[in-house]
Amino acid sequence: MAGVSTISHTAPSLPLEGRVAIVTGASRGIGRAIALHLASLGAKLVLNYANSSTQADLLADEINSSSPSPHPQRAIAVKADVSDPAQVKSLFDQAEQAFGAEPHILVNSAGVIDPKYPTIANTTVEDFDSIFSVNTRGAFLCCREAANRLKRGGGGRIILISSSMVGGLKPGFGAYAASKAAVETMVRILAKELKGTGITANCVAPGPIATDMFFAGKGEEQVRKVIEECPLSRLGETQDVAPLVGFLATDGGEWVNGQIIRVNGGYV
């Protein structure tokens, strides 16, 4: 009828619809939760893993099975050692080949820690090198590739997972905290170097999160002490971290750049 307005019932597009996100360390823990959250926002996912192929494949199946037709494949699992430059390059190559587009988003969640929690005096050179190889060298290689290959002109996001232990400075975390402190310094500089590209670079620094990595090597008393030190009297959950990463990945997070965001319940 003339003069009568109609209401559109077209579903609104999701904030990351059509964008490709690479998530390293995606097979478990914080990385897994981030991947699922980005998928819920409409992103296509490249799920990187180093060892847990079964978990990564199951996660890809979970994301793809929830995809509406005619776009069934929204996630692929890709094995790559982030400390190896050739494998990091291949990770980005496979992202472009699978989805036919430059990736928009890198979330570097791959990380390791020494579950023995040794003092600096008792940290072996081999363990020190192993921690820096993944946590720092891996972050550098992923950032370098992303700085050269993420989509320009808006929507490009580099998000590195650091640790609130950089501020906590607890005994037994010397090598680990140092490896993450280097990452935080690097991301602040990277954000400035990316001027003019439309790509932002930030760190998200969780506190104690209830993951396998956190519990490894800790007894009940150690866990209880950590909980007591938190003002919210609990461990964090992966779901406490993923939405913040999701916000930074969307257009709404564009004005947040070169920042270290602690998400730790007030722990430090």
Is 245 domain-assigned? yes
> 185: which 2 tokens?
């310094």
pLDDT at 267 over 70: yes
Q: Which residue has the tokens 């232990």?
A: 165
- Beta strand residue intervals within 148-245, DSSP E: 156-161, 199-206
> 22: which 2 tokens?
């690479």
Is 233 domain-assigned? yes
Terminal-to-terminal C-alpha distance of the chain: 63
Contact status, residue 166 vs residue 261, Cβ threshold 8 Å: no
> Which residue segment(s) compose the domain that 45 sits in?
20-263
Is 165 domain-assigned? yes
Between CA 95 and CA 224 the distance in angstroms is 42
Q: Using one digit for the tens of pLDDT, what is the confidence trace for 134-192?
A: 999 999 999 999 999 999 998 999 999 999 999 999 999 999 999 999 999 999 999 99
The one-letter amino acid code at 17 reads E
- CA-based nearest residue to 249, from 20, 64, 27: 20
Specify whether the backbone of 18 is left (phi greater than 0), alpha (psi in -120 to 50) or beta: left
**Burial class of residue 33 (count of CB atoms within 10 Å of its CB; 0-12, 13-18, 19+):** buried
Query: What is the pTM for the complete model shown?
Result: 0.93
Is 30 domain-assigned? yes
Is 74 domain-assigned? yes
- CATH for 245: 3.40.50.720
pLDDT at 68 over 80: no
- Beta strand residue intervals within 213-268, DSSP E: 260-263
Is 49 a residue of the active site? no
pLDDT number for residue 76: 97
Is 100 domain-assigned? yes
Between CA 203 and CA 136 the distance in angstroms is 13
Sequence-separated contacts (24+) of 120-127 with Cβ below 8 Å? 120/174, 120/175, 123/174, 123/175, 127/175
What's the total number of domains in the chain? Answer: 1
User: Which one of 49, 117, 176, 267 is the catalytic residue?
Assistant: 176
Is 7 domain-assigned? no
pLDDT at 67 over 90: no
- CA-based nearest residue to 226, from 238, 211, 208, 206: 208
Q: Using one digit for the tens of pLDDT, what is the confidence trace for 83-134?
A: 999 999 999 999 999 999 999 999 999 999 999 999 999 999 999 999 999 9
Is 8 domain-assigned? no
pLDDT number for residue 268: 81
36-64 residues labelled b (16+ CB within 10 A) or e (exposed): bbbbebbbbbbbbbbebeebbbebbeebb
pLDDT at 46 over 70: yes
